[in-house]
Chain A
Amino acid sequence: MTLTTEQPGEAPGRTAATGQGRWGGVLRELLRTRRAMVGILLILALVLMAWIGPLLSPWEMGERDFTAFRSGPSPEHWFGTDNTGRDVFTLTMVGLQKSIIIGLLVAVLSTAVAAVVGAFAGYFLGLTDKALMWVTDLALVLPSFLILAILYPSLKDSGWIMFVLLLAAFMWMVTAKMVRGMTISLKEREYVLAAKYMGVPAWRIIFRHIIPNMASLLIVDATINVSSAIITETSLSYFGFGVQPPDVSLGSLIALGAPQALAFWWMFAFCTGLLVVLVLAVNLIGDGLRDALDPQAKRRS
């Protein structure tokens, strides 16, 4: 015989007054952590900058200033110009846009794939599990960087969306394994058993009961994936296998500026600095989210 360990605050009537669900609490907790707050503000600032910046800048994306090659920051060119007279500020902002979009899309896609693959493998076990985990292990042992580098150039006509798909295809495996493990423990929960004995079909149980109950893990994971997606995208683009001209991303800009970083620092410093700030901000939010979602990590004030 065990006794219910009820938190005194759980008594009905009290919580009804505040009327906030779990997510309200998580949000409050998140906003209370200074790190997460800094992260969110940084991200908001970067997004605003990336989309409003090009509108403010007097220079268009493809436009070249033939009077100024490799000129340093000035009131006319805020971040200076590059070898062919393009405005580095406009370039960087457009590159930042692309990097943010790619990072977000890849993270969302790969987490979704991971959730579905992991949950199905963990819920059904047996043959389904064997097959899905074999695919996962295979994808895990393939040198993703190399394959992307070889594959993407031959597909580059299909644009950067194909690049996003390819990136996502190599990022879901570790999460899928985690999701599978959690599913195996979740499927023993009594509400899952209850649904099963009610006759609810398996796929409905997975989407209604299992995946929503892993939301905290998935959200944290997606956030962390954003930063690794950005890093991968940048490094691929740096080596020229990623985003192709005329599109630019932070990676291709860094590649352009790196050889001349000492002589013409503005072509290297701004895009690299923004990359660092972006990844840092995403990681700060990820850490904050993890703390806010995990009641055990909460410290007492």
Chain B
Amino acid sequence: MTRTASAAGAEKATGRADDGTPVLEVTDLNVVFPGSARNPDIHAVRGVSYTVRPGEVLGIVGESGSGKSVSSMAAMGLLPDYAQVTGSIRLHGEELLGLDDRAMSAKRGNAIAMVFQDPLSGLTPVYTVGDQIAEAVQVHNPKATKQEAAERAVELLELVGIPEARRRYRAFPHEFSGGMRQRVMIAIAIANDPDLIICDEPTTALDVTIQAQILEVLKTAQRETGAAIVMITHDLGVVAGFADRVQVMYAGRLVESGSVDEVFYRSRMPYTMGLHGAVPHVTTEEKRPLVPISGNPPSLADLPPGCPFSPRCPIAVDACREAEPDLLPVGAEGHAAACVRAAEIEEQGWGVADVYPVPEIPPAEAAQRPRAERETVLAVEDLVKHHPLMKGAVFKRRVGTVYAVDGISFDIAEGETLGLVGESGCGKSSTLLEILSLDRPQSGRVEVLGRASGTGTARDKFAIRRNVQVVFQDPMSSLDPRMPVFEIIAEPLRTHGFPKADLPGRVSELLELVGLDAEQASRYPQHFSGGQRQRISIARALALEPKLLILDEPVSALDVSIQAGVVNLLDELKARLGLSYLFVAHDLSVVRHIADRVAVMYLGKIVEIGGVDEVYESPAHPYTRALLSAIPVPDPRVEREREHIVLTGDLPNPASPPKGCVFHTRCPVFAALGAEEKEACLSIQPAAEPTGTGSGDHAAACHYPDRAIGS
């Protein structure tokens, strides 16, 4: 970044402070998507008003369909033509609504810029990233020569932390990883020193360690340009550490707004409270059940009269159902909530626990006995899964190997939950598919209920299938859209010769077990919401009364308020039915909540394994430490005080893993070692050694597990 540019940024910032007008002022914004044919109109945003002051970070939090993205798209003028937008959007006091596309284009990218969620589709694949940044520079500065624009692009690439910027200028988007692409998107957004950057879920598609990097880049970008940022997200953790003010949206309206501390510690709207209670914290030790918000968000096409949250609100009174409450000031200055009982909540000082009934979940019976006495449900020993990389059409030759799973070992005892965590591409899904296939592994051993996979007849395999069932991540694609729910749940029963006459009874029993109405059995999956579909998946998996349930990111596609209900259901089922879980996830907070033991995977290897409290409290491997520190905690005070370990770089290509310790390319401990000490990391892959903490089964694969990470 040049001095001139930052000086210009500072100048702008002071200039703005002088006149005191907000950067963005949205007043009574309404967005309606007219329904086609007989479908009703969708009122996506209803009477939203807010202001963004110069240089501040405003967080907009809400679940899917709450209108948070639509309201900012309206500000950018990016909504499709058929959307009816009314109200007023002012940028520096100048009305944006009603400007034609040409006039809007002059603003977009210049005064107001946007960073989108999906870095994959944000860049044109046929131009180099440098040219795309230079283009953004030139569009708004037609006088700049090609040379100048290119120079500026290199500066910007350096600013967003792309190493060897001059060389990478000529790289194409496909040569960049997701995190790098998102950096380029940010570079484009700040190319013209905008006054406002709108970030629409900029880190949702990224892994936690990359998310931490991107948030750092955004902070740098803000420092350099002095721009105000509107941060749209569903992740309370991201907002807690990043935003100055927070707004919560529900059903197209603002339901609470105020400073971060006010909204997080003194929320006055039951929905916001519910959101806090629904998120598991990675730092809390005790296992309290999460607070699920019952029901589903209302349909924007057919809103109930009164407060849209009243059907799900535990403290709703008659007045809530009569008229929609306005966003009124409550408590400290700048804090406002749209709740009939906000004043009452303020007076009584109610917290989450006072408003929401916390469900009781009995402890599992099997978990009472010591682990060594319990039966081993699943044992994996040195499991290997290598995918060959082939080239050529007629004569295929092997050009390489993807080391998806490279010698991992763990076991799961009866009534136990093992959380398998790691970033995308670390091999956790391959592990799971390898276990589920019940075939003989390429190397190593998989034992399900004491029976080694790949031995015995097809009949034996079929018998084992009863005991191992799976729940997948995506509630949209895990249920056959062409079958009614009854058929879906009956399928495993039919396959395993369940008596036909008892089918209806068993299916209703299962539906009730997962908290659904048995009468809904004749409907199709598309008539259910995401959370309900995931419950149907669980019912199907439980139909044969399995011993082991393999859960592949079962809640990561769900909204937080729904996620809490499903997590509680899993907790409860485990206790009632004595199940064991293999819980694969990238969300460490959920794993902390649900798992008894946890295994951390990196590039096809388990780098650390142990009891969940030991691993989270005293992580030994630098990767685990970085991973834990990268997760944003939904608690502003904690988040401000925490020291983040930000890993550099991306996950190496699993087809050519680094020699020696696979983590050394990104390892902060390694970077601080002396040349002789580095030798071990460069040549020898460390074996999992007990760390000596806890009950003795906590192990980490690191040569120097005791070294502190210098920040």
Contacts and interface: CB of A to CB of B under 8 A. Distances in A.
Name the 4 nearest CB pairs between A and B, nearest first: A4-B530, A199-B465, A190-B478, A190-B472
A16 B478 contact: no
Interface string A1-34: 1111110111110111000011000000000100
B495 A22 contact: no
Interface in B46-83: 63-65, 82
Interface of A: 1-6, 8-12, 14-16, 21-22, 32, 189-191, 193-195, 197-201, 204, 208-209, 212-213, 215, 298, 300-301
B557 A4 contact: yes
A300 B34 CA distance: 10
B82 to A, nearest CB: 6
Contact of B556 (A2, A193, A195): A2
B468 A197 contact: yes
Contacts of B64: 3-6
B495 A199 contact: yes
Interface in B219-262: 234-235
A130 to B, nearest CB: 13
B301 A4 contact: no
A212 to B, nearest CB: 4
A233 B235 CA distance: 63
Interface of B: 36-37, 39, 42, 63-65, 82, 201, 204-205, 234-235, 296-302, 436, 461-462, 465-466, 468-470, 472-483, 491-492, 495-496, 520, 523-524, 526-530, 532, 537, 540-541, 544, 556-559, 586-587
A209 B480 contact: yes
B495 A193 contact: no
B302 to A, nearest CB: 6
15 contacts: A3-B234, A3-B559, A4-B559, A10-B299, A11-B296, A11-B298, A11-B529, A12-B296, A12-B527, A191-B478, A194-B540, A209-B482, A213-B481, A300-B82, A301-B37
A215 B476 CA distance: 18
Contacts of B201: 3
B470 A10 contact: no
Contacts, number: 128
Contacts of A5: 64
The DSSP consensus for interface residues of chain B is loop
A198 B491 contact: yes
B529 A197 contact: no
B539 to A, nearest CB: 12
Contacts of A209: 480, 482
Given A32-B37, A199-B495, A199-B496, A2 B205 contact: yes
Given A11-B299, A199-B466, A298-B36, 4 more contacts: A8-B299, A12-B528, A191-B477, A213-B480
B69 to A, nearest CB: 10
A267 B481 CA distance: 52
A200 B480 contact: no
Nearest to B493: A198
Nearest to B43: A8
Contacts of B302: 14
A15 B527 contact: yes
B37 A200 contact: no
Contacts of B472: 190, 193-194
Contacts of B532: 12
Nearest to B461: A199
A252 to B, nearest CB: 42
Contacts of A208: 480, 483, 491
Nearest to B251: A8
Given A12-B528, A16-B523, A301-B37, A4 B478 contact: no
Contacts of A204: 495
Contacts of B559: 3-4
Contact of B300 (A8, A21, A191, A301): A8
A198 B492 contact: yes
A197 B465 contact: yes
A103 to B, nearest CB: 27
B526 A10 contact: yes
Contacts of B480: 191, 195, 208-209, 212-213
Contacts of B540: 194
Nearest to A29: B37
A197 B63 contact: no
A8 B65 contact: yes
Contacts of A11: 296-299, 529
Chain B CB within 10 A, most for which of A3, A5, A208:
A3
A10 B527 contact: yes
B471 to A, nearest CB: 8
Given A3-B557, A12-B529, A195 B65 contact: no
